[in-house]
Amino acid sequence: MKNSKNEKSTNSKVDQLRDHTTDNTGEMLTTNQGLKINNNQDSLRSGERGPSLLEDFILREKITHFDHERIPERIVHARGSGAHGVFKINKSLAKYTKANFLSEEGKETPVFVRFSTVAGSAGSTDLARDVRGFAIKFYTEEGNYDLVGNNIPVFFIQDAMKFPDLVHAVKPEPDNAIPQAASAHDTFWDFISLMPESMHMIMWAMSDRAIPRSYRMMEGFGVHTFKFINEEGKMHFVKFHFKPKLGVHSVAWDEATKISGKDSDFHRRDLWEAIENGAFPEWDFGVQIIPEEDEHKFDFDLLDPTKLIPEEEVPVELVGTLTLNRNPDNFFAETEQIAFHPGHLVPGIDFTNDPLLQGRLFSYTDTQLSRLGSPNFHEIPINRSINTVHNNQRDGHMRQQIVKGKVSYEPNTIGGGCPFQAMMKEGGFTSQEERVDGQKIRARSQSFVDHYSQAKLFYNSQSEPEKTHLQNALIFELSKVTIPAIRERVVGQLNFINKELASLVAKKVGVDVTKLQQPNGSIPADADPKTLQSTEKEPSTKSSEALSMKNTVKDTIKSRVIGFVMENGVNAKDVKTLKSKLEKEEAVVQIIAGSLAPVKADDGTIFEPKHSLTSTASVCFDALYLCSGKNSAENLLNEDNKPGTLLFVNEAYKHCKAIYFGKETDEIYNASNVKGKKHEDSAIITSESNNSDESFIKAVSNHRVWELEKDRNNPA
């Protein structure tokens, strides 16, 4: 594996900007004024047991700074993690865009990427059921370009006007501030039940996409339709995609809730450790390009952010690679202070009139003013552009740049007219000319009115286990809703998507299904009658392969975490052989034992456990190896260890993970829920299986065999 610390950084230009860095090595303590500190243990006081003195400027400076350490967290997307990396364009897009970083084949651009959940506070669990933010700052030679997207290609609402309502509804309820980082409560579903436009996104949010296995295994989407403009001024519409090289994978909801207790930093740790281990997360970058003249050829509106363009209609062309290769040095300075904005553009890219995007263009600068406290937030190292900033803006809180001379206006003669406007051919940004003429009006376009077709498309495209998980998610969420009328309205909405889904959910959440048939039962007041009719008479069967995670499984175990469960007496040879095979494929092996005491193997080898059966759980691993060795197996089943060992195995089994029973571990196998399953189950490997090590590796690469849930009579 590559070592991230030794990797020659491709971000050298960004590094040059980070001239405020220090690692304090070999340095003495100073105050903020650079005064060396002689005593950092005691405050200044009148006598050893006397009162502290106001004069103690060193104590006061230290405590004042401490008192002001917090800044307001992001109003949404507060919980997040980020990393540095590089974006490489492999196939020029010059035909469509003049953006320099997309048009020069082979060009590398430094980036910082921040992933996030939306609803929870900064300290909330990573495993909440939620949309994930996928925000990228490209430090291009033409200025910073921010693509502030999500891991879901559509959004809940069509107009920025509804965003505060959506966010208020999902956030903890205002009277008692419950629940944290969860949509399973009255106000969220009350709002949703009255917003049929949210139904497509609800399908995604209730699917396992909302509980990713890792940030490294999520797709990224620009969501809105954007515009590409080429050198000739020709415009194409574009949708942006990032497809993870490791495939798209999720955990089961039961795992998510348990991981939240065992390791609520699971995604943060996973990203950090992968980069430290040199398993750099990678995505293919792709575009869907739509010629201007095709704008109206779809049966939805390209400006409607609740719609995606099915890949069958416009294929995603893969043209670049995004790689994350360096962890931040300082979480606050970088990940917390980075300020994204969909309005940070470069020539060659432009906005569309998507009414959600248009509203965002106001919000992001505004929010930085309250979060970062100054219009000079662009001067914080992580936010600086590679090319130096030249303009006549001046002063303000915490100004860093020292502009020389007398001039801060334009036009001027005193400064020789500088800084002066750039012509278009010199890279000066111009907005794409567009004829706009219409009535000033507050209204939604009729072309935005079909709220159910793509919700159906998504549901139809899911594999059976994915459908089951989605149904269970809806049942979980709606069961937390205390007001029956809200549950009823939501089920009414689901009925427009899929009758079977609606009645399955209805049964579990106490809604009378027969009510759904009544003409006025649950039909939303503004629902399009055309849509309703087609739903009822002729259920749509359209589907799209790209929408199921099942179709993204890759033949790799790279960076998968395999738990080796062992105790004293373990067979050292088998452990070493399997470990080296797994590590050759770039998987990560972690040892789990009854305690953290070193484990003594049959040949005297000592293995150091990273975890004990009580400090972790199988939900934190991708697969388990019950290590060979009769004595080890016996020790794992002694009075102390038995409950932990069996819980480990049974939960891994429940979650359809690959489990490998090494030699002489039959006792564990027989005591667990796996008993009797070894020969009929592709996820269960034993030492008697053919090529058992290789079969295990294959099973791990499948991620999970969700199809087995039913046989196990134990839905995950």
Q: Which residues are annotated as a binding site?
A: 74, 114, 163, 360, 364, 371
Whether the CB-CB separation of 686 and 223 falls below 8 Å is answered with no
The span from the CA of 575 to the CA of 566, in Å, is 9
User: The tokens of 91 are what?
Assistant: 């196939």
- Give the nearest distance from C-beta 377 to ligand HDE in angstroms: 10
Per-residue 3-state assignment (H helix, E strand, C coil) for 42-79: CCCECCCCCCECCCCHHHHHHHHHHHCCCCCCCCCCCC
Chain contacts with ligand HDE (rule: CB under 6 A)? 74-77, 80, 114, 116, 133, 135, 148-150, 155, 160, 163, 223, 305, 339-340, 356, 359-360, 363-364, 367
Complex with ligand HDE: residue 100 or 117, whichever CB lies closer: 117
Q: Is 150 a residue of the active site?
A: yes
Is residue 146 left, alpha or beta, with left meaning phi > 0 and alpha meaning psi from -120 to 50? beta
- Give the nearest distance from C-beta 546 to ligand HDE in angstroms: 18
Complex with ligand HDE: residue 74 or 88, whichever CB lies closer: 74
User: Which residue minimizes CB distance to ligand HDE?
Assistant: 133
What residues contact 92, with CB distance under 8 A and at least 6 apart?
Answer: 102, 103, 104, 105, 319
- Give the nearest distance from C-beta 484 to ligand HDE in angstroms: 31
Buried (b) or exposed (e) across 215-227, using 16+ Cβ within 10 A?
Answer: bbbbbbbbbbbbb
The catalytic residue among 11, 77, 327, 703 is: 77
Cβ-based burial of 552 (10 A; exposed 0-12, middle 13-18, buried ≥19) = middle
Q: DSSP letters of 546-582?
A: GG-GGGG--S--TT-EEEEE--TT--HHHHHHHHHHH
How many CB atoms are closer than 10 A to CB 451?
25
The catalytic residue among 100, 144, 150, 635 is: 150
List phi, psi (to 5°) of 204: -65, -45
Q: Is 344 helix (H, G, I), strand (E, B) or coil?
A: coil
Complex with ligand HDE: residue 356 or 565, whichever CB lies closer: 356
Complex with ligand HDE: residue 148 or 565, whichever CB lies closer: 148
The widest CA-to-CA distance across the chain, in whole angstroms, is 89
Q: Is 392 a residue of the active site?
A: no
User: The tokens of 212 are what?
Assistant: 């990713």
Identify which of 697, 615, 611, 619 has the alpha carbon closest to the alpha carbon of residue 654.
619
Site of tokens 């809604």: 511
What residues contact 447, with CB distance under 8 A and at least 6 apart?
Answer: 300, 301, 303, 304
Complex with ligand HDE: residue 351 or 496, whichever CB lies closer: 351
Binding site as annotated, residues for heme: 74, 114, 163, 360, 364, 371
- Give the nearest distance from C-beta 209 to ligand HDE in angstroms: 14
The span from the CA of 155 to the CA of 294, in Å, is 23
Whether the CB-CB separation of 514 and 488 falls below 8 Å is answered with no
The interaxial angle of helices 484-497 and 529-537, nearest 10 deg, is: 70
Complex with ligand HDE: residue 146 or 602, whichever CB lies closer: 146
Whether the CB-CB separation of 657 and 542 falls below 8 Å is answered with no
Complex with ligand HDE: residue 356 or 697, whichever CB lies closer: 356
The span from the CA of 470 to the CA of 501, in Å, is 9
Identify which of 664, 591, 655, 600 has the alpha carbon closest to the alpha carbon of residue 630.
664
Whole-Å CA distances, 247 to 132, 284, 549, 555, 660: 16, 11, 8, 9, 23
Complex with ligand HDE: residue 359 or 521, whichever CB lies closer: 359
Whether the CB-CB separation of 545 and 461 falls below 8 Å is answered with yes
How many CB atoms are closer than 10 A to CB 663?
17
Whether the CB-CB separation of 131 and 80 falls below 8 Å is answered with no
Count of alpha carbons within 13 angstroms of residue 242, beta-carbon side: 31
List phi, psi (to 5°) of 706: -60, -25
Helices (H), 385-483: 453-461, 464-479
User: The tokens of 463 are what?
Assistant: 């594999």
Give the residue numbers marked as catalytic. Answer: 77, 150
